[in-house]
Structure 1
Amino acid sequence: MKKTFVLVVLFIFPLVAYLFFASGVNNFGKLPTLTENVPDISQVDSSVTLDGKITILGFLGSDVEGKKGNAFNLNQKIYKRFSEFQDFQMVMVVPEESRNQIEPLREELSELSDDQRWNFALGSNEAILAFFQELKTDITLDADLYTPYVFIIDKDRNLRGRNDDEDEGVKFGFNTTSVAELNNKMEDDVKIILAEYRLALKKNNADRIK
């Protein structure tokens, strides 16, 4: 009996574990693409680009001071966890008229963490609205060009999200006013997309060696 138990532990359990994790990779290895070929944010602000970056994209609107709590939530729950990745960035879109509100927010963010991967794209109201519409989501901007939702954009400028979310079905964005949503959903999805790129990089490196 003891020998049988030892054999199960040594041989059967590792096999079961392998099959379980292999199945997980197949089912959860990629974050679904919901909108392809999102335009580059450079059409709003030429100093910022989405190309070649995993981007958390948000729209703070004209009242940046009033919405800084959203940025703090995002900073603490998402940015601080993933900012070590070189290809990761935050891009917050703000109307040109609110330019003077950005620096105070950046100073406060810098007190919480290294803010070098926080970027702010400034543009006209018309350019911001036109860009947002190209995301093709079920979310709208309010009159101040604000939404509490942020979006995951991959290196090829595709909007990634969930097509089988337990609460919303298709989930385009993540609500920055909800710490629970950032913790329980967005963090997992950012992990998935970063793992996806890491696996692709390892495969490419292995292929070069062959």
Structure 2
Amino acid sequence: MKKNLVLGVLFILPIVAYLFFASGIHNFAKLPILTTSVKELDFAPEVELKDHITVLGFLGDEIPAEGGTLFNLNQKIYTYFSQFDDFQFVYLVPEGTDKEKLQDVIDELSQISDMTHWKFVFTTTDNIKSVFNSLKSPYKLENDHGSPYIFIIDKEGNLRGRDDDEDVGDLYGYNSTDVAELANKMKDDVKIVLAEYRLALKKYNAERKK
């Protein structure tokens, strides 16, 4: 009797452990959708959110000479994921912003990174407000029509974030002035979204081969 009990435990325990960890991996591999149908950039046909994993930002018309948060993002986020063709950084910039100053910053960044997947879109403040409002986040645009918060948009145009963040609960965007938040939260969350699509692609390819 004892022998059968021990054998039963030894047989069942690995299965229970597998199911537990498989469930954990499944949950980890999904970053919650906080807002559906973020407005597409129909005013900028050269840039699309659809079929891209996008880090979306709002630069404002005041460009720091040293680049400010753009350098933080380049070092803490962009350099880790720039090898993915479907990954992009998109910043909306108000018309009238000093293009030469922005170009100087881009040139500085180009010395340390391939800027292929950075997109800066000059557009009207009405367009900027429309896209920002479509995120349905608790944040507000600042007076220069910029924001320190940046957002992860998936290939279907949905805003991804956290609904159980230990600090704020619902985390719609990431504070680009907070290096620790970029390194400890946003980097992990971008990894999750990229992994989700990579796993889906592997599954699709495997099913096609059957």
Match of 1:83 in 2: 82
Moved more, 91-100 or 64-73: 64-73
Q: Deviations over 1:83-109 (max 9, x none)?
A: 011110000111111133321121011
* Alpha-carbon distance between aligned partners in 2 of 1:59 and 1:111, rounded to the nearest angstrom: 23
Match of 2:62 in 1: 63
Q: Deviations over 1:28-83 (max 9, x none)?
A: 1211001101111233x332211110000011100122682111000000000010
Runs (4+) of structure 1 exceeding 6 A deviation are 11-17
- How many positions carry a matched residue from both structures? 199
Whether the 8 Å CA contact 1:41–1:121 is kept in 2: the answer is no
Contiguous gaps of at least 5 residues in structure 2: 1-10
Whether the 8 Å CA contact 1:33–1:160 is kept in 2: the answer is yes
* Alpha-carbon distance between aligned partners in 1 of 2:188 and 2:156, rounded to the nearest angstrom: 20
The amino acid that maps onto 1:173 is: G
Q: State how 1:120-139 maps to structure 2 within 5 Å.
A: 120-139=120-139
Contiguous gaps of at least 5 residues in structure 1: 1-10
* Alpha-carbon distance between aligned partners in 1 of 2:82 and 2:73, rounded to the nearest angstrom: 12
The amino acid that maps onto 1:159 is: L
Match of 2:5 in 1: none
* Alpha-carbon distance between aligned partners in 2 of 1:109 and 1:13, rounded to the nearest angstrom: 53
Match of 2:205 in 1: 205
> How does the TM-score come out when normalised to structure 2?
0.88
* Alpha-carbon distance between aligned partners in 1 of 2:70 and 2:56, rounded to the nearest angstrom: 11
* Alpha-carbon distance between aligned partners in 2 of 1:194 and 1:118, rounded to the nearest angstrom: 17
| More helix by percentage | 1
* Alpha-carbon distance between aligned partners in 1 of 2:137 and 2:156, rounded to the nearest angstrom: 18
CA 1:184–1:17: 2 relative to 1, 3 Å: farther
* Alpha-carbon distance between aligned partners in 2 of 1:67 and 1:128, rounded to the nearest angstrom: 24
Match of 1:48 in 2: 47
* Alpha-carbon distance between aligned partners in 1 of 2:147 and 2:174, rounded to the nearest angstrom: 10
3-state SS of paired residue (1:68): coil
> How does the TM-score come out when normalised to structure 1?
0.88
Whether the 8 Å CA contact 2:34–2:159 is kept in 1: the answer is yes
1:16 CA drift (Å): 7.6
Q: State how 1:1-210 maps to structure 2 within 5 Å.
A: 18-19=18-19, 21-43=21-43, 45-65=44-64, 68-98=67-97, 99-210=99-210
CA 1:67–1:18: 2 relative to 1, 3 Å: farther
Q: Deviations over 1:135-183 (max 9, x none)?
A: 1110111110111110000011111000111111000000111110011
* Alpha-carbon distance between aligned partners in 2 of 1:188 and 1:80, rounded to the nearest angstrom: 14
CA root-mean-square deviation: 1.9
Whether the 8 Å CA contact 2:92–2:122 is kept in 1: the answer is yes
